[in-house]
Amino acid sequence: MRYGAKMMPMFLTVYLSNNDQHFTEVPVTPETLCRDVLELCKEPGETDCYLAEMWRGSERAVGEAERMLDVLQRWGPQRAEVRFFLRHDRAPSRDSGGSRTSDHLAKRNGVKGSSDRRMENGVVPPRLDMTLSELQEMAARQQQQIDAQQQLLASKEQRLRYLKQQDQRQQQQASEQEKLQRLRENAESQEAKLKKVRALKGQVEQKRLSNGKLVEEIEQMSGLFQQKQRELVVAVSRVEELSRQLEMLKNGKMDAFHDNQSSAAELDRLYKELQLRNRLNQEQNAKLQQQRESLNKRNLEVAAMDRRVSELRERLWKKKAALQQKENLPNGFPVKDKSTKGIEQIPMDGHSTQQGGPSRVAAVEPYIQSSTMPRRPVRHELLVKPAYPDGTATLPMQDGPIKAQSRSGAGPIGKPPMGEQSSGAPPVSRVEPNCDVTLSSEGITHHTGLREPAGRGLL
């Protein structure tokens, strides 16, 4: 026996094309022929194909009747360098190996060949007495062939399942691709519809804006139309009024119109006269206001002068009282050098005279005038009298020409004569009977009109 009875099959790698990744593995047994490998590897219904072995660039077509295991064993250690390709065209020479293929088929079917028949016919007589061992070997060989056929059938079934799985996978992939294509088409169609909707939305928005603008323009035009209509109504009423006036003129109603014109002229004249009177009244009011202001100012000056005169009078009487107490003189002024220094005595006629006992007057203002007065008899009277209701005080009054002169020259107490007040002269203060002087804002003035510089009297 050439091969072992229980040899395990090996797998042969067959490349279905020139692509190294497109290959299949076929189980090979000692009985596996090249035809069997072709049946497993070729496409269903394919007829023109053959198996080629490639070694270092050289290619050889394998015969269909060759055993694949013998082919592999012939290469020996170079077996790993040999690659088998399935060519999808007609084989270069299909006659070579045909006899061997027929002999192999006859042996596989148990039919004897021509040589066996010749031997059986007389060349080699058949052996009728086969031993048990030979029968056992024959049975073992047949069993081995059966096992090989079963293995080949199992490999074919496996190949068939593999092909079915591939077919199902391809169908599934095709269905998935088809579904994906349909989804893509649906997505594209939806996108196109969305674009159309957006375009329509933009058109609608533009239409809405244009409609809004048209509405605004219509409102403006309607407002303008109403305004023009009102103007037209006013113009129509004006035309009617003018027409009525024209009719009145035509009907001889001019008298009333002239009366209206005359009354209008009279009204204008009265209005102008009223304006003139108002202007005159305003001027008079302004003058009166100025006069009031000047009068108020003079009144304030008079009040200030009265206060000053009252203060000076009080000081004068205090000085007189102090001097009388020091000299114990009941009537008259004390004679001292410091009080009489610089005092000028002038008679009533305005000429200066020398007298043995002149009366002395103390000046309490910047200027002082005095006149010579004869001494009077001593009168025991009070030095200071109570104040008048207006706040002034006087010394005891003496009878004589001085009293009359002072009364006739001074006038009312605290008031100037009428002539002086009207002429704008400053107010004149009270005049004491013993001192024929007049106190004013400019100084102490004698009736003779003479003045003395300030500071020469006794304050």
Evaluate whether 420 touches 426 at the Cβ level (below 8 Å): no
Concatenated DSSP letters of 115-153: HHHHHHHTSSPPP----HHHHHHHHHHHHHHHHHHHHHH
Residue 43 neighbours by CB under 8 Å, 6+ apart: none
Q: What's the number of CA atoms in the CB half-sphere (13 Å) around residue 350?
A: 5
40 backbone dihedrals φ, ψ, rounded to 5° = -80, -30
Residue 305 neighbours by CB under 8 Å, 6+ apart: 426, 427, 429, 440, 441
The sign of the torsion formed by the CA atoms of 20, 25, 31, 35 equals negative
**3-class DSSP assignment, residue 371:** strand
Q: Where are the domains of the chain?
A: 1-94, 129-230, 301-446
**Strand blocks (E) in 304-456:** 437-439, 444-446
Q: What's the pLDDT score for residue 42?
A: 80
- Could you list the pLDDT tens digit for every one of the 459 residues in the chain? 344 434 556 788 888 877 777 788 888 888 888 888 888 888 777 778 888 888 888 888 888 888 888 888 888 888 888 888 888 877 775 444 444 444 443 444 444 444 344 333 333 333 445 688 888 888 888 898 888 888 889 988 988 999 999 899 899 888 999 999 999 999 999 999 999 999 999 999 999 998 989 999 999 999 999 999 999 999 999 999 998 888 888 887 666 666 677 888 888 889 998 999 899 999 999 999 999 999 999 999 999 999 999 999 999 999 999 999 988 755 544 444 444 333 333 344 444 333 434 444 444 444 444 444 444 444 444 344 444 444 444 444 444 443 434 444 444 444 444 443 444 444 444 434 444 444 444 444 444 443 444 444 433
**Strand blocks (E) in 9-76:** 10-15, 23-28, 50-55, 58-62
For strands 10-15 and 23-28, give the pairing.
antiparallel
Q: What's the pLDDT score for residue 226?
A: 92
Q: From the centroid of its chain, how far is CA 227?
A: 40
Q: What's the pLDDT score for residue 137?
A: 83
84: enclosing H helix or E strand:
strand 83-87
pTM of the full predicted structure?
0.23
Hey, what amino acid is at 78? Q
CATH 3.10.20.90 fits 1-94, yes or no: yes
Structure tokens at 84: 């088998």
> Degrees (nearest 5) of the Cα angle 15, 16, 21?
60
Q: What's the pLDDT score for residue 49?
A: 85
Q: What's the pLDDT score for residue 360?
A: 47
Residue 221 neighbours by CB under 8 Å, 6+ apart: none
Q: What's the pLDDT score for residue 39?
A: 83
Q: Helix 68-75 vs helix 34-41: angle between axes, to the nearest 10 degrees?
A: 110
Count CB neighbours of 200 within 10 A. 10
Q: What is the DSSP letter of 271?
A: H
